Amino acid sequence: MKNVAVLGATGSIGASALDVIARHPDRFRASVLGAHRRVEELAALCARFRPDLAIIADAALERSLREKLAAAGVPTRVASGSDALREAAAGPLCDTVVAAIVGAAGLESTLAGARAGKHVLLANKEAVVMAGALLLDALRSGGGRLVPIDSEHNAIFQCLPPEHRDLAACGVRRILLTASGGPFRGKRREELATITPQQACAHPNWVMGRKISVDSATLMNKGLEVIEAHWLFGAAPAQIDVVVHPQSIVHSMVEYADGSVLAQLGNPDMRTALAHALAWPERVDAGVAPLDMFKIGRLDFEAPDRATFRCLDLAYAALSAGGTAPTVLNAANEIAVAAFLEGTLPFLAIAEVIEETLTAVPAEPQTTLDALIYADLTARREAQRIMRRAFC
């Protein structure tokens, strides 16, 4: 029986993880559930899954969660705050951590799980973008294993040999990261000036949280994934190519020295990656419909429009700059996307805010967690200042 901590349980990935867990009560148990503020939803999940521990990150809501669980007769213990998330990720109640908190807020619990040698199922791509080297160190020192849940990285993981510490030694030439192109694929820059949050969040193929939906619309999601692939698979930036594939059936590909290209295909449903990562190295039913190739009929591939969707190149530039540059990129993006979702920043200004923040906050060598947190806070302040001055 695997005891699973689902951190970000009330989100889109959390829901997919819990769906797979519920299908296999003989294999998996949700032993810890964590959320930020959605206390009603967390209490309802506790009533259904009866975890040992529920954590609400916003400490002001701990009492409310406690009262709701007591009223429903649910014996789950309650804790609050980011320290509790970190302690639970490293603690004895779980052997597996689904890192599904959105944004930099997920970094410390992800690192804690890795340091403690847990089986880390990584959805929280911002953590690896911010602190890739630290996360790898934590995994090495903890002796745990990371299986990516991001569908592209999960696909690459599946297309690589089981122990893939060195891409060159495995004969890998290139990683082909597929991208749906988002809801605005094919649009010209001038058509994007008046995009609303609702339009940006209406992804053609995937149902996801609001932040990653906007990231998909700007192509920053693919940029973050390029950085994620660099760290998770040891690929140089020039070895990672982005291929737009509007049907989202091929989740990514690996090209080998002999010309073979291995791809992982499936319906666009995150439960496939979650079932793979939860059961790895075995395979279990994910509840996902079989792929109907006759219905799909064709698979298309095209180059990304890098001039219109500038965030992709900003991410490549931050990866090449190294050090704290990806941390700054991620922080500026989180601030700009939040402002866009609140209706105070135009869609096209997201890339501008990120670019200006990268110029204003020079990259430092990536050393300690404190240095990264400092870079993150500095970049957030700078991005706010840039937005106040130029856009809001």
Closest CB to ligand NDP among residues 55, 263: 55
Binding-residue pattern over the window 3 to 42 for ligand NDP, x denoting contact by CB under 6 A: -----xxxxxxx-------------------xxxxx----
What is the distance between the terminal CA atoms of the chain, rounded to a whole angstrom? Answer: 52
Residue nearest to ligand NDP (CB): 11
Q: 262 pairs with which residues across the strands?
A: 254
Phi then psi dihedrals of residue 98, to 5 deg: -90, 105
322 binds ligand NDP (CB under 6 A): no
CB atoms within 10 A of CB 218: 29
CA–CA separation, 27 and 1 (whole Å): 5
Span 269-298, contacts to ligand NDP by CB under 6 A: 270
DSSP tag of 59: G
118 binds ligand NDP (CB under 6 A): no
CA–CA separation, 152 and 380 (whole Å): 28
- CB 327, min distance to ligand NDP, A: 15
212 binds ligand NDP (CB under 6 A): yes
255 binds ligand NDP (CB under 6 A): no
Task: Please give the structure tokens belonging to residue 158.
Answer: 């599946």
Span 134-153, contacts to ligand NDP by CB under 6 A: 150
125 binds ligand NDP (CB under 6 A): yes
Query: Which range binds ligand NDP by CB under 6 A, 65-73, 122-130, 253-261, 333-341?
Result: 122-130
- CB 41, min distance to ligand NDP, A: 6
CA–CA separation, 277 and 122 (whole Å): 9
CA–CA separation, 105 and 103 (whole Å): 5
197 binds ligand NDP (CB under 6 A): no
Give the DSSP H/E element, type plus range, for residue 256. strand 250-256
| Contacts with ligand NDP, residue ranges (CB under 6 A) | 8-14, 34-38, 57, 100-102, 105, 123-126, 150, 206, 208-209, 211-212, 270
